[in-house]
Each structure stands twice: as C-alpha cells, then as structure tokens.
Structure 1
Amino acid sequence: MDTDAPLLGEPLPVELMNTVWADRDGVHDALRDRDGVRAWLRALCPRTDLLTPNDLDELTASDLDRLIGVRDALRRLAAEVTEDPRPTAASDPSALEAAVTVLNEAAGDTPRWSALSWTPGRQPARHTRTSGRAIAATVSAIAEDAIALFSQDTRHQLRACLGPGCVLYFVKHHPRREWCSAGCGNRARSARHYQRHRGTTS
C-alpha cells in the first residue's frame, strides 16, 4: 500500500508535517491508523539508513503516538516560524512550549551514532547505528533534523503554502517558488484569474 501523503522531496521533518493534507473532499491525515503510518514509513525507507521494510512489522501503538505527536509539534512550530495565516494553523500560544518539549524528548528518545566501515580495496562508508528499535530511532532522527531546521537560518526558508485550500509546508530553495507544488500554483493562478474576471464583469 502506498501512502496517501504527498511526498514532495522536502526534508523529512517537512514531509512529516505534510502527512496532514487537503483536497476537494477536505483535510486528511495520512497517519490516521496503523496502516497509514506503515505506508508512510515504507515510503521513507529509501531516504534513511535506519529503517528497512522489515522493521515495519515491529510498529507499535507507542510508535504511532510518538510519530503523530512529533508531527503535530512540527506543524505548530512551522506555523510560528511562517506566521501561518491559515485557520488550520491556529493554536494556543502556550502550545509552542509544549511543541518544543515534544520535539526535544523525541530527539533524545533513541540514541544513534555513526559507524565507519572500510573493507580493503573498497571505498569507506558511513552507517548509522542505534541501540533501539529502528522505527523509534527514525522518529528520533526526524526530530533531530527538525531541531536543526528550526534552530538555524534555514527556518526562514520554510513557507506555508497559501494555495487555495492547501495545508502543506515547503522549504523555499528557489527565490521564485511560491507554492508547495505546480498544482497549487495552477489553482492559485486560476483563482486570481477568476477574481479579476468576476471583478470586471460585475
């Protein structure tokens, strides 16, 4: 089963934020149940050296809760950084401190470290090792990447997509990028064209 979540090639913390997404039928949660979480993590396997498809058999209710808690914390922090005006981003200002706590706890939950392998006649390679379960280590790694994203100047490149009905976030790597995807850009241009046309005919 493939994940419902849009995968836009964003950093993993942003991909996790975007497991809440919207279409014409409303707002959806790709992590709504165990199958949804498993599908999203399976899609991530090629992007992390901590997780393999076989590890997904170990998914627990605690893993699901931790991943959703980190996702919700990331969305709260992203709303703060981007000054997100969308109604779906509104939250109690005290939730900021709670979001930071969730993120810090998740980052420290499962230790990870780098290990070097080097066989004579081959190129050296870096691998990530963990003392815990791969799923828990992956959630911790995403949380740590998020701490790097929010604590460095790169946080100023984070954007809330203001396309009609969109609830996604993206990192603005190109100065002309305004939307999370070409589809959102097309919908926004169509909406502007409609408003201009309606304004001239009324």
Structure 2
Amino acid sequence: MTTNAPLLDEPLPVELMNTIWADRDGVHDALRDPDGTRSWLHAVSPRVDLMTPDDLDALTAADLDRLGDRLISLRDALRRLAAEAVQDPRPAAASRTRDLQAAVTVLNKAAGDTPHWSALSWTPGQAPSRHTRTSGQAASAAASAIAEESIELFSQDARRRLRACLAPGCVLYFLKDHPRREWCSAACGNRARSARHYQRHRRTDT
C-alpha cells in the first residue's frame, strides 16, 4: 500500500502539507478518498508511535471518511500558515483556507481533538519503558499529534527554515536543512535549472 504523495523525509507537518502535490497533469490531492487517506497514514505510521498498521487496517470506511476530513482540514490550515510564514507567491499552491485566523483555529482544535499522553511501564527485573496512551482511536490521536507538532514548528525557530519550492510547477514545502538547498528535491532543482537555461537562451536569441 503506497501513497501518491511525495515523502521527502520532512517533519510530519510538512509531509502532511505535501499531500497536495503537482505534476504535468496538474495539482493532486493524495487524501482525496479513503484509500488515499489510509495509504498516506500507512506510509507515515513508522514515524508516529500512536498507531500501527493493524490500527489502520481496522478502520471502517466511515472512520476513514471522518479521519480524511480532519486531515484535509488540518492540511489546508497548515498550508495557509506556511504561505504566511514564507510569503508564498505561488497561485497554484494557495490553500483553500484563506483566512489566517481561521487556519490557527483549525490547528488549535485539531491538536486537542483526541488527547494522548505518555505512560511508564516498569516490570520488576526489566528496564522501564514509555508507552503512549490515547482516549480515542489511534489514527485520530496521530492526527492530533501531527497538529501538536505543527504548533511547535510554527511557534519556534524552525519556522524560519520553512521554504516554498519555487521550481516550475511545484507546490511543495520543505525545511531548508543546508545553506545551499533551494528546492524540495533534486528533480525540482534540475527542472528549475533547465527553465533558467531556457530563459537565458531565449533572451539571447531575441
């Protein structure tokens, strides 16, 4: 089970933003249906200690519909906040959530939708271990955990490393992890350099 969304080893809030992606056929939504929602959650589940593949496989179609709606709402809010943080100039990347305060409200609500907390287990003679508990479905708690991580991202210095990929046709975001990094991926870097080369030669020819 694979997701259509590009996974760039970014923090989970950025990976969720990037469930809106583009190719030559236009802009796509990897969460557009229950199968897409389940596939994306399966893909990121190793990075979330609140859910397992078995938890996801146990979700009903109705569960996935509700969860998909929550993730899409959260995703659109995050893309609006990201656009504000980076002054994103890309019309194709614009979020369906237009109002900044509405995006903040959605994010804050999502973080508290399904409470989760840490618990310690310690059996005599064995090493202590940490477990995560939740008052609701594991996948729903995972969505709240992503929202909580998003609040941390936007409220701390990491926000200043957030970038919009300005390669032609791209609508993705990334965290700048190297001073020379300009694009979300090598493929976008190649496309951007090709576009620059074309424009230079076009100006020269004219």
Scaled by the length of structure 2, what TM-score is found? 0.93
The letter for the 1-side match of 2:39 is A
The letter for the 2-side match of 1:7 is L
Alpha-carbon separation, structure 2, partners of 1:39 and 1:75: 21
Q: Percent identity among equivalent residues?
A: 73
Aligned to 1:36: 36
Q: Which runs of 5+ in 2 are unaligned?
A: none
- 1:116, CA displacement in angstroms? 2.3
- 1:125, CA displacement in angstroms? 2.9
Q: CA RMSD in A?
A: 1.7
Aligned to 1:197: 201
**Is structure 2 residue 50 aligned with structure 1 residue 46?**
no
Alpha-carbon separation, structure 2, partners of 1:40 and 1:94: 25
Q: 1:86 aligns with which of 46, 68, 90?
A: 90
**For 1:52-99, what per-residue CA distance to the aligned partner results, in whole angstroms no more than 9, with x for missing partners?**
112123233221111110000000000000100000244699611111
Aligned to 1:158: 162
- 1:119, CA displacement in angstroms? 4.4
Aligned to 2:174: 170
Q: Which runs of 5+ in 1 are unaligned?
A: none
The letter for the 1-side match of 2:177 is H
Number of residue pairs aligned between Structure 1 and Structure 2: 202
Distance 1:189 1:9, change over 3 A: same
Scaled by the length of structure 1, what TM-score is found? 0.94
- 1:127, CA displacement in angstroms? 2.1
Distance 1:72 1:92, change over 3 A: closer
Alpha-carbon separation, structure 2, partners of 1:192 and 1:6: 24
SS of aligned partner of 1:71: helix
Alpha-carbon separation, structure 2, partners of 1:94 and 1:163: 23
